[in-house]
Amino acid sequence: MKQTHYVAREPDAHGFIDYPEQEHRVWNTLITRQMKVIEGRACQEYLDGIEQLKLPHERIPQLGEINKVLGATTGWQVARVPALIPFQTFFELLASKRFPVATFIRTPQELDYLQEPDIFHEIFGHCPLLTNPFFAEFTHTYGKLGLAASKEQRVFLARLYWMTIEFGLMDTAQGRKIYGGGILSSPKETVYSLSGEPEYQAFDPIEAMRTPYRIDILQPVYFVLPNLKRLFDLAHEDIAGMVQQAMQLGLHAPKFPPKAAA
C-alpha cells in the first residue's frame, strides 16, 4: 500500500470529530470555489444530491449528518477510514453499503490536487450521487464483485471504477455533463473534461476495463454514459464475465507518457 503523510482525525466518545479552524477554512475555500465551477457542468442527479445533503460551507460536515440523508434516500452510510485503505477493506465497505471517507482534509499547499482521497473529495465528489438509487445500486454491486474477485481481476475492476464512479461523463438532453466524483472535486478537471480537448468514447464496460490510466494527470480519455440508468442496468449484467473477456483481450496502449522515475 502507498504511504501518506495525512492522518485521519479520530471522533470523540459521541462520534464528533473536532477539526481545527484552519481545516474548516480549507473546506470553505474548496466548496465555495467548486460550487461555482460545477455550475452548468454537473449532471442533474448530482445537483439533486447536493441539494439533499445541504452541505455546510463554513465547516467540515460531521459524518452523522451525511448518514441521515443517505440512510433516508438509498440506505447507504459513510464509514470513517484512515487516509489509505487496502482494496479488501474498500470492497467490504461497499458490499455492505458503506462508503469510505477519510477524515482528514488537504493542506492549503495541496489545495488543487492531492493523490489521496480526502474528506472533500469523498463527501463533495461522491456522496451527492449516493442519494441516487441507480448510482447506489451500481456501487453496491461493484463492492460485492470486488470481494469475490481475484487480485488480477480486481485490477480490471479498478479501471471500471475509475472510468465511471471517478471520471465518468454522461450525455443528457442539456448536453454532456459530469457525474464522476474525481472530476467534480477538481476545478481543473471539471473544466478540462468538457473542453473538447480530451478523447470521448461511448461507454463500453469491457473497453473501460482495458483502458490504462494514470492518477496524477488530466485524463486523456473519458467514457460517456447515455444516462445514469446505464449503471443500474450494468449492475444486473454479467460484469464478472466482462472482466474475463477484458483480461483475455488485454490492455490497450496507454494514451499518456510513462511516469518519470522519481
Residue that the C-alpha cell 503523510 belongs to: 5
> Looking at the domain covering 21-249, what would its CATH class be?
mainly alpha
- The neighbouring-strand residues paired with 169 are 178, 224
126 is in an annotated binding site: yes
pLDDT for the residue numbered 39? 98
Which positions of the chain have pLDDT values less than 70? Answer: 1-2, 262
Q: What is the pLDDT of residue 79?
A: 98
C-alpha cell at 243: 472482466
Give the model's pLDDT for residue 2.
66
- Is 140 one of the annotated binding-site residues? no
Is 51 known as a binding-site position? no
**Alpha-carbon distances, residue 125 vs 92, 97, 147, 243 (angstroms):** 21, 17, 24, 26
pLDDT at 260: 81
Provide the whole-model pTM: 0.96
Residue 19: HSE in the Cβ half-sphere, 13 Å Cα cutoff = 22
Q: Is 87:142 a contact under the CB 8 Å cutoff?
A: no
- Lay out the sheet containing 169-172: strands in order across: 175-178, 169-172, 221-225, 199-202
**Cβ neighbour number for residue 92 with a 10 Å cutoff:** 18
- Give the C-alpha distances (Å, rounded to integers) separating 60 from 20, 80, 123, 159: 10, 14, 10, 30
| Strand (E) or helix (H) holding 202 | strand 199-202
Write down the pLDDT at residue 261. Answer: 73
Q: What is the pLDDT of residue 150?
A: 98
Confidence (pLDDT) at 129 = 98
Dump pLDDT digits (tens) for 108-135. 999 998 888 999 999 999 999 999 999 9
Strand duo 221-225 + 169-172: pairing:
parallel
